[in-house]
Homo-oligomer: A and B are copies of this chain.
Amino acid sequence: MMNDTKPTHCLHLKRIGIDTYREQVAYLHRHCPLYQTEGFRALSKLEILADGQTILATLNIVEDDQLLSPSELGLSTTAFKQLGLTEGTPVSVRQPPPVHSMKAVRAKIAGERLSQAEYTAICQDIVAHRYAKEELAAFLVSSAQSGMDREEVLFLTRAMTDTGKHINWDEPMVVDKHCIGGIPGNRTTMIVTPIVAAYGLLMPKTSSRAITSPAGTADTMEVLAEVNLTMDTLRHIVHQERACLAWGGTANLAPVDDILISVERPLSLDSQSQMIASILSKKLAAGATHLLLDIPVGPHAKVTNMRDAIQLRKLFEYVALHTGLQMEVVITDGNQPIGKGIGPVLEARDVMQVLSNDSKAPTDLREKSLQLAGRILEFHPDVRGGSGYHLARDILESGRALEKMNRIIERQGKKEAVDVAELVIAVKSNHSGIIKSIDNLIIARIAHMAGAPLNAGAGIDLNRKLGDKVRKGETLYQVYTSFQANWEFVQEFIHEQGNGYFIAG
CB closest residue in chain B, given A139: B141
CB distance from A86 to the nearest CB of B (A): 17
CB distance from A94 to the nearest CB of B (A): 10
> Which A residues, 49 to 68, have Cβ-Cβ distances below 8 Å to chain B?
60-64, 66-67
CB closest residue in chain B, given A144: B109
Q: For A42, what are the chain B residues with a Cβ–Cβ distance below 8 Å?
A: 19-21
Interface pair A268/B111, CB less than 8 Å apart: no
> How far, in angstroms, from A23 to B16 measured CA to CA in the complex?
19
List the one stretch of A127-135, A179-187, A394-402 in contact with chain B.
A127-135
Contact among B60, B266, B269 for A20, CB-based, below 8 A: B60
Q: For A269, what are the chain B residues with a Cβ–Cβ distance below 8 Å?
A: 106, 109, 138
> How far, in angstroms, from A106 to B271 measured CA to CA in the complex?
11
> How far, in angstroms, from A47 to B108 measured CA to CA in the complex?
35
> How far, in angstroms, from A21 to B59 measured CA to CA in the complex?
10
A132-B133, A142-B141 as given contacts; A21 in contact with B41, CB under 8 Å: yes
Interface pair A62/B18, CB less than 8 Å apart: yes
Interface pair B17/A43, CB less than 8 Å apart: no
> How far, in angstroms, from A20 to B42 measured CA to CA in the complex?
6
List the one stretch of A152-160, A338-346, A425-433, A483-491 in contact with chain B.
A483-491
Interface pair B135/A138, CB less than 8 Å apart: no
Taking the complex as formed, is A480 at the interface, i.e. its CB lies under 8 A from any CB of chain B? no
CB closest residue in chain B, given A106: B268
Interface pair A492/B138, CB less than 8 Å apart: no
Interface size class of A (residues with CB under 8 A): 35 or more
Taking the complex as formed, is A315 at the interface, i.e. its CB lies under 8 A from any CB of chain B? no
Tally of this chain's copies:
2
> How far, in angstroms, from A63 to B451 measured CA to CA in the complex?
25
CB distance from A213 to the nearest CB of B (A): 14
> How far, in angstroms, from A76 to B27 measured CA to CA in the complex?
13
CB closest residue in chain B, given A59: B21
> How far, in angstroms, from A492 to B97 measured CA to CA in the complex?
14
Contact among B63, B109, B132, B138 for A18, CB-based, below 8 A: B63
Interface pair B30/A19, CB less than 8 Å apart: yes
C-beta contact mask, A112-143 vs B, less than 8 Å → 1, else 0? Answer: 00000000000000000000111111101110
Interface pair B102/A268, CB less than 8 Å apart: yes
Q: For A455, what are the chain B residues with a Cβ–Cβ distance below 8 Å?
A: 39
CB closest residue in chain B, given A29: B17
Taking the complex as formed, is A146 at the interface, i.e. its CB lies under 8 A from any CB of chain B? yes
Q: For A67, what are the chain B residues with a Cβ–Cβ distance below 8 Å?
A: 17-18, 67
Contact among B64, B77, B134 for A133, CB-based, below 8 A: B134
> Which A residues, 1 to 53, have Cβ-Cβ distances below 8 Å to chain B?
1-2, 4-5, 16-23, 25, 27, 30, 37, 39, 41-43
Q: For A30, what are the chain B residues with a Cβ–Cβ distance below 8 Å?
A: 19
Taking the complex as formed, is A454 at the interface, i.e. its CB lies under 8 A from any CB of chain B? yes
A4-B485, A4-B488, A20-B42 as given contacts; A138 in contact with B63, CB under 8 Å: no
Point out which of A20, A109, A451 has the most chain B C-beta atoms below 10 A from its C-beta.
A109
Taking the complex as formed, is A275 at the interface, i.e. its CB lies under 8 A from any CB of chain B? no
> How far, in angstroms, from A74 to B60 measured CA to CA in the complex?
15
Interface pair B60/A1, CB less than 8 Å apart: no
Interface pair A135/B267, CB less than 8 Å apart: yes
Q: For A18, what are the chain B residues with a Cβ–Cβ distance below 8 Å?
A: 27, 60-64, 67
Q: For A417, what are the chain B residues with a Cβ–Cβ distance below 8 Å?
A: none
Interface pair A111/B145, CB less than 8 Å apart: yes
> How far, in angstroms, from A95 to B5 measured CA to CA in the complex?
46
Contact among B2, B62, B106, B137 for A137, CB-based, below 8 A: B137
- Interchain residue pairs with CB less than 8 A apart (19): A1-B485, A1-B488, A2-B485, A4-B488, A17-B63, A18-B61, A19-B62, A20-B61, A25-B60, A109-B145, A109-B269, A110-B145, A133-B137, A134-B267, A137-B141, A138-B267, A141-B142, A142-B145, A146-B146
Given contacts A18-B64, A19-B42, A145-B145, 13 further A-B contacts (CB under 8 A): A2-B485, A4-B484, A4-B485, A16-B64, A17-B64, A18-B27, A19-B63, A22-B43, A39-B454, A102-B267, A132-B133, A141-B141, A146-B146
